[in-house]
């Protein structure tokens, strides 16, 4: 499904919203420049709402929500609240362009890891048109998303294609904050049972699952260099709303 050879693993980074989206953009640029596929997990230094690339309308109170950063994702989809969750991003050159098949390939490692954590996940069935009618990504589950046996959405994912190169990133809900979710979306978060492991415990499990089910050539850990950080910071304005 994707190129052989080792992937680069960027160790987990906790940072502000604009910085995280800039790193994801930079990852795609590196792949387009001939670099290897990359994978990373990350967390947000403050609660944030990321808007889909084409999401032009959202409630006015989102901009004024205290302590919540608003940022534009490079990928599509609807708004995601980044709080009480773990985010992943990967870039690669898939061998095919059937998007549903690519989602299934790029999410298999997540399914394998969550099954070990006690929650088998299946893909959603809602249509993209139905999802586009909602302001929140987690209000519906399409074939890009992973849901629990009860139908509650655990992982929402989105893509950006550039020629044959793909950026896919997504949010894995752990303990979404009830009051903040209600304040922003006017509804409760998905009714998910607590996982057996914390985010700290899940991170190595997710990495091992990726090595076995996504990165056929293995994962080589390499933090961002000072020069790479400089390139990332130059991309931050692209994510500002």
Active site positions, annotated = 137
DSSP for 182-213 reads HHHHSSPPP-PPPPSS-HHHHHHHHHHHHHHH
- H or E segment and range at residue 119: none
205 in Cβ contact with 198 (< 8 Å): no
Helix 99-116 × helix 199-213 angle, to 10°: 130
Q: What angle do CA 101, 107, 112 make, to 5 degrees?
A: 125
CA distances from 29 to 48, 75, 94, 147, 166 (A): 24, 14, 16, 31, 10
C-alpha gyration radius of the chain = 17
Cβ-proximal residues to 199 (8 Å cutoff; 6+ apart), any chain:
43, 86, 174
Cβ-proximal residues to 145 (8 Å cutoff; 6+ apart), any chain:
123, 124, 153, 155, 156, 157
End-to-end CA distance of the chain: 35
């Amino acid at each position: 499904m994707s190129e052989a050879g080792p992937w680069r693993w960027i160790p987990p980074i906790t940072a502000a919203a604009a910085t995280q989206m800039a790193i994801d953009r930079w990852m795609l640029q590196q792949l387009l420049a001939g670099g290897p596929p990359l994978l990373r997990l990350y967390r947000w230094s403050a609660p944030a709402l990321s808007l889909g690339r084409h999401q032009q309308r959202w409630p006015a109170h989102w901009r004024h929500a205290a302590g919540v950063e608003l940022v534009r994702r490079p990928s599509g989809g609807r708004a995601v609240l980044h709080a009480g969750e773990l985010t992943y991003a990967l870039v690669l050159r898939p061998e095919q362009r059937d998007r549903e098949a690519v989602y299934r390939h790029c999410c298999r490692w997540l399914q394998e890891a969550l099954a070990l954590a006690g929650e088998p996940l299946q893909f959603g069935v809602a249509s993209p048109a139905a999802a586009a009618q909602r302001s929140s990504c987690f209000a519906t589950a399409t074939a890009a998303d992973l849901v629990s046996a009860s139908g509650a959405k655990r992982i929402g994912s989105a893509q950006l294609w550039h020629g044959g190169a793909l950026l896919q990133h997504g949010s894995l809900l752990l303990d979404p904050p009830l009051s903040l979710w209600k304040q922003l979306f006017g509804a409760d978060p998905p009714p998910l049972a607590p996982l057996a492991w914390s985010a700290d415990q899940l991170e190595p499990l997710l990495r091992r699952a990726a090595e076995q089910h996504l990165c056929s050539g293995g994962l080589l850990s390499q933090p961002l260099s000072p020069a790479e950080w400089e390139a990332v910071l130059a991309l931050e304005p692209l994510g500002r709303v």
